[in-house]
């Protein structure tokens, strides 16, 4: 290994680590604390559960910050080397630009392998774990599901009915002013409204249901033919409301491993063609995002040299523009209804970076 390889590789590697840290703080922690606030303050979860939630959410940021940080580091390192005429010194010594870029491509390939491992193994489990933790907190303390004055819709029901719950307050282990709405998906089904002066909550974990005991309850059912049925009860139990247990949501692609996705597509006859495309596109996205570091290596070196006369902030601006464009184009894959279209859109940013990088490399060699 040449001294130049160690010199450039060390700067790129440490620059990437620093950039990942900064991007993580800027882009992730704000959203992270936004999710923690209801868990910690509104739901009064124990500190141990909050820490588990933080640990499960942090790996999700690496899917974006690792390639973005690598791009920023290469742009800044080569911009500084060019501004200090160190690139010129290396080339006078007989080292070509391609040879000088070898450590960049080596680090890019290594980071792509790390990203592949994260995206396939760590990120899906982290997403599933973070959602499961919220469900565990709801099971531990069902009162934490509901916040006075806020309509809660984190429930599921048979078919496509919509269930909403609103409470007016809490007092002594009871919820005050309990309102329940069940809205049908079509006009051919009943529409139900339930009100109780107060109610107690409990979770049936075996059936993933919220069991509600009502006092001074009023029931109102609107029939499709326009009839209204009403009933009053001093006490009524139990009103059963199905919770959204993440373990039952098998088709949420982001929380499934590749093997689980393939099994789901092959064995679930209820999946629509559009849902199958979405599930298979999730696998493609994990591979294409993993190759982002290697693709960025092609474009970052010549662009870094091109910013030699600018302030170092120019490299950060370029990296932000490229990174934003890369991930925005990838998100358009969700609009395609065929596997070919979705795969082409997901791999398009990588192909564009490589092709444009080869053109820029050729021009930079003769400058």
Q: Give the pTM.
A: 0.69
In whole angstroms, how far apart are CA 274 and each of 252, 271, 278?
Answer: 13, 8, 6
Q: Cα 259–261–263 angle (5° rounding)?
A: 70
Q: What does the alpha-carbon distance between residue 92 and residue 88 come to, in Å, rounded to a whole number?
A: 6
> What are residue 294's phi and psi, to 5 degrees?
-65, -40
pLDDT at 33: 63
Q: What does the alpha-carbon distance between residue 310 and residue 71 come to, in Å, rounded to a whole number?
A: 17
Q: What does the alpha-carbon distance between residue 193 and residue 189 come to, in Å, rounded to a whole number?
A: 13
In whole angstroms, how far apart are CA 260 and each of 60, 115, 212, 244, 357?
Answer: 19, 20, 35, 20, 36
Per-residue pLDDT tens for 333-353? 777 778 888 888 889 889 988
- And the tokens for 4? 């130049």
Q: Cα 282–33–127 angle (5° rounding)?
A: 25
pLDDT level of residue 197 (50, 70, 90 thresholds): very high
Please state the three-class secondary structure of 230-254 as a single string: EEEEEEEEEEEEEECCHHHCCCCHH
Contact 138, 161 (CB under 8 A): no
Per-residue pLDDT tens for 36-90? 655 555 555 566 666 777 777 777 778 888 998 898 899 888 888 887 778 878 8
pLDDT at 309: 46
pLDDT at 311: 47
pLDDT at 250 > cutoff 90: no
> What are residue 307's phi and psi, to 5 degrees?
-100, 20
Contact 312, 304 (CB under 8 A): no
174-180: long-range contacts, CB 8 A cutoff, minimum separation 24 = 174/198, 174/199, 174/200, 175/143, 175/146, 175/199, 175/200, 175/201, 178/212, 178/214, 180/212, 180/239, 180/241
């Amino acid at each position: 290994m040449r001294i130049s390889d160690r010199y450039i590789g060390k700067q790129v590697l440490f620059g990437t680590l620093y950039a990942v840290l900064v991007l993580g703080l800027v882009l992730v922690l704000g959203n992270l604390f936004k999710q923690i606030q209801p868990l910690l303050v509104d739901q009064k979860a124990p500190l141990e559960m909050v820490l588990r939630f933080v640990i499960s959410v942090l790996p999700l940021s690496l899917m974006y910050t690792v390639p973005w940080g690598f791009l920023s580091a290469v742009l800044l390192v080569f911009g500084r080397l060019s501004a200090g005429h160190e690139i010129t010194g290396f080339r006078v010594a007989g080292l070509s630009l391609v040879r000088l870029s070898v450590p960049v491509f080596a680090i890019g390939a290594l980071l792509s392998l790390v990203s592949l491992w994260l995206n396939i193994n760590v990120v899906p489990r982290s997403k599933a774990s973070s959602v499961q933790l919220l469900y565990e907190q709801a099971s531990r303390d069902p009162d934490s599901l509901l916040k006075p004055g806020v309509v809660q819709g984190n429930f599921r029901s048979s078919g496509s009915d919509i269930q909403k719950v609103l409470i007016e307050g809490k007092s002594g282990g009871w919820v005050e002013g309990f309102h329940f709405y069940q809205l049908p998906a079509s006009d051919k089904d009943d529409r139900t409204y339930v009100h109780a002066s107060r109610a107690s909550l409990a979770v049936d974990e075996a059936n993933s249901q919220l069991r509600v005991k009502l006092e001074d309850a009023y029931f109102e059912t609107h029939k499709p033919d326009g009839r209204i049925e009403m009933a009053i009860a001093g006490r009524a139990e139990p009103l059963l409301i199905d919770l959204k247990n993440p373990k039952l949501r098998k088709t949420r692609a982001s929380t499934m491993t590749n093997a689980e996705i393939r099994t789901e597509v092959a064995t679930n006859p209820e999946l629509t063609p559009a849902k199958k495309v979405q599930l298979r596109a999730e696998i493609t996205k994990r591979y294409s995002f993993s190759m982002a570091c290697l693709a960025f290596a092609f474009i970052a070196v010549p662009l870094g040299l091109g910013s030699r006369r600018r302030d170092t902030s120019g490299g950060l601006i370029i990296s932000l523009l490229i990174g934003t464009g890369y991930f925005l184009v990838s998100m358009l894959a969700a609009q395609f209804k065929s596997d070919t279209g979705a795969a082409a859109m997901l791999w398009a940013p990588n192909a564009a970076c490589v092709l444009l990088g080869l053109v820029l490399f050729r021009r930079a060699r003769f400058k």
